[in-house]
Amino acid sequence: MKIISTVAELRAQPRPKGKRRVLVPTMGALHAGHLALIRLARKNAGAQGEVALSIFVNPLQFEPGADFSRYPRPALADEELCRKEGVDLIFRPAPGEMYFENRSTFVEETALSEPLCGASRPGHFRGVCTVVTKLFHLLTPDAAVFGEKDFQQLAIMRRMVRDLDFPVEIVAGPTVREPDGLALSSRNQYLSAEERAQAPIIRQALLEAAQSDETSARKMAAAVREKIESASLARIDYVEIVGTDDLRSRLTIEPDSLLAVAIFFGQTRLIDNILLR
């Protein structure tokens, strides 16, 4: 397994001819959810292909006052997990390798990034699009794997690849969960014991909504809010029902509807979603 930390070293590496390269972009602090994405990347690359994983805590996607400085960076543990999973290449640059101090060029998607997390995290998806564009240019993957837990990010990546003609296939990985239903996230470790005990209410509320016969988006969202608010430590950022194609609010529950939520427990913001019918 090669570990590369500079752009110059990465560019000096010859790209194996005839080998399919699949990229798994991460911010590190790898957990079972990431490992599932790595395995999906290996399946997509094939036995003779190459799995590349990037580890970069991207400052551009953290809004002021967010948890950039305290975001976990367990480098050695991440390396060991990658070795066990058969990752071929890790690209782990420092911020100074990725961004000039006087940078003035960004990549921005302006439709799908407006609702949901984009409404409460201004500039976040501009940071995501910018760093992923750079990773695509530097690593030249044939495909890239993104998790469905962040459905909005997945949709934006698909739109960005389409609009900018990147020759990169976007592969979606199903959400991986704890036994009690909580979606795996590097931020789960920030939860106190009491917050962690209440956090599964998110998944419970999503499942109850998906299994109901409710056709009104407004009434379904209200029921989800009521369920989540029954957890004393939960603070709702948003509960929205949107179309999977445009991420715009729906009035009625249709086959292409997505129920998406963002919930705070203390300072920890958790997201999750479920497809409806």
pLDDT in tens, the chain (277 residues): 999 999 999 999 888 788 999 999 999 999 999 999 999 999 999 999 999 999 999 999 987 767 788 888 999 999 999 999 999 999 999 999 999 999 999 999 999 999 999 999 999 999 999 999 999 999 999 999 999 999 999 999 999 999 999 999 999 999 999 999 999 999 999 999 999 999 999 999 999 999 999 999 999 999 999 999 999 999 999 999 999 999 999 999 999 999 999 999 999 999 999 999 8
DSSP state of 101: T
Sign of CA dihedral 192, 194, 200, 202: negative
Q: Taking the CA of residue 238 as centre, how many other CA atoms within 13 Å lie in the half-sphere pointing to its CB?
A: 16
CA distances from 248 to 187, 242, 252, 256 (A): 27, 5, 12, 11
- Rounded to two decimals, the pTM is 0.96
* pLDDT computed for residue 65 by the predictor: 64
Taking the C-alpha atoms of residue 245 and residue 151, their distance in angstroms, rounded to an integer, is 11
* pLDDT computed for residue 70 by the predictor: 81
Number of other residues whose CB lies within 10 A of the CB of residue 2? 12
Give residues with Cβ within 8 angstroms of 166, minimum separation 6. Answer: 136, 160
Task: Look at strands 268-276 and 257-265 and give their pairing.
Answer: antiparallel
* pLDDT computed for residue 69 by the predictor: 83
* pLDDT computed for residue 68 by the predictor: 85
Amino acid at 65: G
Residue with tokens 């799995």: 51
Q: Taking the CA of residue 258 as centre, how many other CA atoms within 13 Å lie in the half-sphere pointing to its CB?
A: 20
Beta bridge partner(s), residue 257: 243, 276
Angle in degrees, CA 257, 258, 259, rounded to 5: 125
Taking the C-alpha atoms of residue 275 and residue 277, their distance in angstroms, rounded to an integer, is 7
Q: Are 66 and 29 in contact (CB under 8 A)?
A: no
Coil, strand or helix: which one is 120?
A: helix
Q: Domains, the chain, ranges and CATH?
A: 2-173 (3.40.50.620), 186-272 (3.30.1300.10)
Query: Which alpha helices (DSSP H) does the chain contain, by range?
Result: 7-12, 32-45, 75-85, 95-98, 117-120, 124-139, 151-164, 193-198, 201-211, 217-229
Number of other residues whose CB lies within 10 A of the CB of residue 277? 10
Residue with tokens 């080998």: 19
Which residues are designated catalytic?
Answer: 34
* pLDDT computed for residue 178 by the predictor: 97
